């Protein structure tokens, strides 16, 4: 079974300094059919205006991934990490027993555009941890690059869940197929551009949810950047 969800069907909140689209129930947005998809709990597409950001706040027992598309995201946390996240990098913070952090766009003019992704952990109460890695465009061109995994294989960022996140860039005749093991869920989020996925024509912000499917097939991209999730139920 494949379910298509268009970009405009997502929850939306515009706070002036923050314009945010919610793929799943979040904050004041609630949709009973879109609370989570397997272990995938949040995909927020955030645009943070110049000089603005999220002040210090806490998280607990959640795997949090930041994927920056434009600008830079300044991150500071109670573990002592003070870093900047830019396009091409993947940041993972395991909140575990609890962590405080803040995220800001310190640019004086430009917008920071990023995806905030939450994945529910396999084990709660773990020691908080942080990881950040760079994945060049050349590693994602015409293929799916593993960027998040439970064991850090292929140089991916390690996560406290049996979940995979893969990133790819596709144009023209470039295409690839990702196999889903029996019992696994698939989720495809088109970050930008246009892409054909399992025969569906997707535009930026669109998503496909796959259940009881054996393959995810990507083809006929136009300036497409995509994230593919391979998830436990």
pLDDT at 53 over 90: no
Q: Binning pLDDT at 50, 70 and 90, where does residue 208 land?
A: very high
pTM for the whole thing?
Answer: 0.96
Mean pLDDT of 61-73: 95
Q: Is it the case that residue 76 has pLDDT exceeding 90?
A: no
CATH number for 137-231 (one of 3.30.70.260, 2.60.120.10, 3.40.50.970, 3.40.50.2300): it is: 2.60.120.10
pLDDT range class, residue 150, cuts 50, 70, 90: very high
Class assignment of domain 11-123? mainly beta
Residues of the chain with CATH 2.60.120.10: 11-123, 137-231
CA atoms within 13 A on the CB side of 72: 11
The b/e string for 84-95 (b: 16+ C-beta within 10 A; e otherwise) is ebeebbbbbbbb
Once rounded to an integer, what is the mean pLDDT over residues 125-151? 96
Inform me whether the pLDDT recorded for 101 exceeds 90: no
- Residue 203 pLDDT > 90, yes or no? yes
Q: pLDDT averaged over the chain? A: 95
In order of 4, 24, 214, the CA distances from 10 in angstroms are: 12, 7, 26
- Give the mean model confidence (pLDDT) for residues 99-112: 89
Find residue 77's DSSP bridge partners: 101
């Amino acid at each position: 079974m494949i379910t298509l969800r268009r970009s405009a069907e997502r929850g939306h909140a515009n706070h002036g300094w923050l314009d945010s689209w919610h793929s799943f129930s979040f904050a004041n947005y609630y949709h009973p059919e879109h609370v989570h998809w397997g272990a995938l709990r949040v995909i927020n597409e955030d645009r943070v205006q110049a000089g603005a950001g999220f002040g210090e706040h806490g998280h607990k027992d959640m795997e949090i991934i930041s994927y920056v598309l434009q600008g830079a995201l300044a991150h500071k946390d109670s573990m002592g990490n003070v870093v900047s996240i830019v396009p091409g990098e993947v940041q993972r913070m395991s909140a575990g027993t609890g962590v405080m952090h803040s995220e800001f766009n310190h640019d004086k003019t430009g917008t920071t555009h990023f995806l905030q992704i939450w994945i529910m952990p396999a084990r709660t109460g773990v020691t908080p941890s942080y990881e950040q890695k760079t994945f060049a465009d050349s590693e994602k061109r015409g293929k799916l690059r593993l960027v998040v995994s439970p064991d850090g294989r292929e140089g991916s960022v390690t996560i406290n869940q049996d979940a995979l996140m893969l990133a790819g860039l596709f144009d023209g005749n470039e295409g690839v197929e990702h196999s889903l093991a029996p019992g696994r869920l698939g989720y495809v989020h088109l970050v930008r551009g246009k892409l054909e996925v399992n025969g569906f024509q997707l535009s930026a912000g669109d998503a496909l949810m796959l259940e009881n499917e054996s393959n995810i097939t990507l083809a006929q991209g136009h300036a497409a950047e995509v994230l593919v999730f391979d998830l436990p139920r």
